[in-house]
Structure 1
Amino acid sequence: MTVCVGELAAMLARRFPLSWAEPWDRVGLRIGDPDQPVERVYVALDATIASIREAARSGCQVLVTHHPPFLADVSAIVADDPAGAIVAEALRLGVAVISEHTNLDRSPEGRVALARACGFTGMEPLEQGTEELDLVTVYAPEGSEGRIIDAMAAAGAGRIGMYERCSFSAPGIGTFTPLPGSSPAVGGHEATAAAEVRVEMVAPRGDGGRVACAARAVHPYEEPLITVTRVTRPRAQASLGAVGDIPATTLDGLAAVVAKRLGVPVRIWGEAGDPVRRVAFANGSGGSLIGAACAAGADVLVLGEVRYHDALAALESGLRILEAGHDATEYPLVGVLASVVETIVGAQAVVQEPRSIRWRVTGS
């Protein structure tokens, strides 16, 4: 399938909505020309100069990564700055960069990638927080709700987890009295009662105004009532981390399984014989999920790395920690990305970065 860079980015954003990302994250198309045709795609963990050069060497026009090339706002592109050097090299070699970071972490397949890499299935979402959304409400004459929902969905409304075009409609009676100079779409210039429908759809935070304008463009009334409200909902399937029960083992027994499956040494916080039955998993830096793991009744949290005092606090709460390295716990996400990109451009057009662990322990 022949696509351009912008189309590839849009298709990935549909699978991993950018609204799922943390507010500080920088996801989506980061570098490159949206109109550039795509023949081959290189998929890697990190957007580095080395991966950009390897993408170019492999005949790829796009580098799709988990980690973005930069997280801070870039105010200048200069070659002697780390972020600027990456941007300059990508532009020089004609390699666009698309990154799917915490939005990929929150996807149903992303949140279980580490657990599956360790050999465990049947995991539930771990994160139990909330997310803020814009709720767009439209009052319209009966029979016009279909095109209004179409317009709002096209503007990005109606995505809830792995469902799209989600909407709610309820009938009611709208009343109004037209003033001189008005052109009512229903009734005359007298007090009017009309059968109306209340249509509601959610949109990513900050997108409500754009969705409201899309609804306004197709609304039959000259003065429609369209409102945007900030709302909060509990997270569901689109959540960070995973938790579930495994066959009974010990802390050292689980550590041995994780070490073997990921091919890295594991740092253990807890006693060797501590019983383990319920395990939580978090990609990369998962210290923010310690509270969720405790609340979920997990015996141990498997992650990339954790801060020292966070580990101490976890132990005080009865939660053991297994650290297996940021890259080792997130490399399974490269396979998730590669599989999705293959559905877009074809398996023969995708090159997956070989697994590479850039650290070692004393004596190895």
Structure 2
Amino acid sequence: MTPTLGDVLAVLAQAYPPPLAESWDAVGLVCGDPTEPVSRVLVCVDPVESTVDEALEVGAQLLLAHHPLLLRGVHGVPADDPKGGLVHRLVRAGAALVCAHTNADSASPGVSDALAAALGLAVTGPLVPNVTDATIGAGRIGTLPAAEPLSAFVRRVADALPETAWGVRGAGDPDRPVRTVAVCGGAGDSYLAAARAAGVDAYVTADLRHHPAGEHLATGRDAPALVDVAHWASEWPWCAQAAGILRAAFNGTVDILVSTRRTDPWTLGETSGKRRTTA
């Protein structure tokens, strides 16, 4: 008997409980009929034109995305609006859209667990524990099997994540030993103080800004080194995690695919070479 969308929603709600989402977030079912059967699911980071194309091309009845499509309040979804157009395309094709965002960030395992696993870290706990359950929360702290120089660790991160124009950037002494690491999938500069308080050697996250990063490093030699990656790349490992949860739940009765489309918005990257400055 083919599972229904409602069956898939129940599994996702157990893995990534909606109450864990931040109050400002928009998670859950965006469009789709819970009574309709689901035989194929595509998991992605961004619900954008490219991944909607892919979902319809592979015949998926469900697109499971990390990022919300309609995060800000809207008064309508007209077909001539970019986001409204995606909703119309999905509905016409009989495909649903479900988003698991900050609820997937805080859940265990969640987005940052997937990032930590990709980097070869053994997770010891959350970076910012949930106020009601200290075993879950934002970010993760983990350890490497053995210490390695920051320069080698930055290369480890670059090798573990999909290539992007943004690349991977490190800030700190290249020879600094790195053993304990904090990670946060997505934009994580709001947790710089938490990483410093945790006493880790390095902090891996996305979208680090110039001033917060500089001010963090200026706090002294004990400030964790920073490794900045592309937002999309930091969250892409979650797709395989979510796919694995669904495969285990439905035991082969639902075909679960992970999107191969790179939806990072940056498409070009160059390194300045004619003029170089030194610190």
The TM-score normalised by the length of structure 1 is 0.67
- Cross-structure match for 2:275: none
- Structure 1, unmatched stretches of 5+, are 131-232
Q: What is the aligned partner in structure 2 of residue 295 from structure 1?
A: 197
Query: How far, CA to CA, are the matches of 1:357 and 1:3 in structure 2?
Result: 29
The match for 2:115 is 114
Q: Distance in 2 between matches of 1:53 and 1:356?
A: 13
Conserved in 2, the CA contact under 8 Å of 1:241 and 1:282? yes
Task: Give the secondary-structure state (helix, strand or coil) at the position aligned to 2:69.
Answer: coil
- Write the distance in 2 (CA, Å) between the matches of 1:355 and 1:123: 32
Show the counterpart of 1:125.
Answer: 126
Q: Residue in 1 aligned with 2:47? A: 47
Shift of 1:335: 0.4
In 2, are the aligned partners of 1:6 and 1:34 still within 8 Å (CA)?
yes
Alpha-carbon offset, residue 49 of structure 1: 2.4
Q: 1:56 to 1:103 in 2, by over 3 A?
A: same
Contact in 1 for aligned 2:187/2:231 (Cα 8 Å): yes
Following superposition, the deviation at residue 352 of structure 1 comes to: 1.7
Q: 1:65 to 1:357 in 2, by over 3 A?
A: closer
Does the residue aligned with 2:193 lie in a helix, a strand or coil? helix
Distance 1:23 1:77 in 2: 22
One-letter identity of the residue aligned with 2:173: E
Q: Secondary structure at the match of 2:138?
A: coil
SS state at 1:69 partner: coil
Contact 1:69/1:86 (CA < 8 Å) preserved in 2? no
Which residue does 2:58 correspond to in 1? 58
The 1-side partners of 2:121 and 2:194 are apart by 19
Instruction: Name 1:352's counterpart in structure 2.
Output: 258
AA partner of residue 126 (structure 2): P
The residue that corresponds to 1:362 in the other structure is: 270
User: Does 1:237 pair with 2:139?
Assistant: no
Cα deviations by residue, 1:15-62 (Å, 9 ceiling, x for unpaired): 210011111111111111222211211111211122122212212111
Stretches (4+) displaced over 4 A: none
Figure out how many residues of one structure are paired with residues of the other and give that number.
260
> 1:357: how far off?
6.1
Kindly name which structure, 1 or 2, has the bigger radius of gyration based on alpha carbons: 1
Displacement of 1:312 = 1.7
- SS of 1:70's equivalent in the other structure is coil
Tell me the alpha carbon deviations over residues 202-242 of structure 1, each in whole angstroms, 9 at most, x when there is no partner. Answer: xxxxxxxxxxxxxxxxxxxxxxxxxxxxxxx3x41221111
- Of 278, 287, 293 in structure 1, the residue corresponding to residue 180 of structure 2 is 278
> Is the CA contact 1:38–1:61 (under 8 Å) kept in the aligned structure 2?
yes
Unaligned runs of 5+ in 2: 272-279
Report the Cα distance in structure 2 between the residues aligned to 1:54 and 1:267, rounded to whole angstroms.
Answer: 31
**What is the TM-score with the length of structure 2 in the denominator?**
0.86
Counterpart secondary structure, 1:361: coil
Match for residue 259 of structure 1? 158
1:335 has 2:251 as partner: no
Cα distance in 2, alignment partners of residues 303 and 23 from structure 1: 22
Corresponding letter in the other structure for 1:84 = G
Equivalent residue for 2:18?
18
**CA RMSD for the aligned pairs?**
1.9
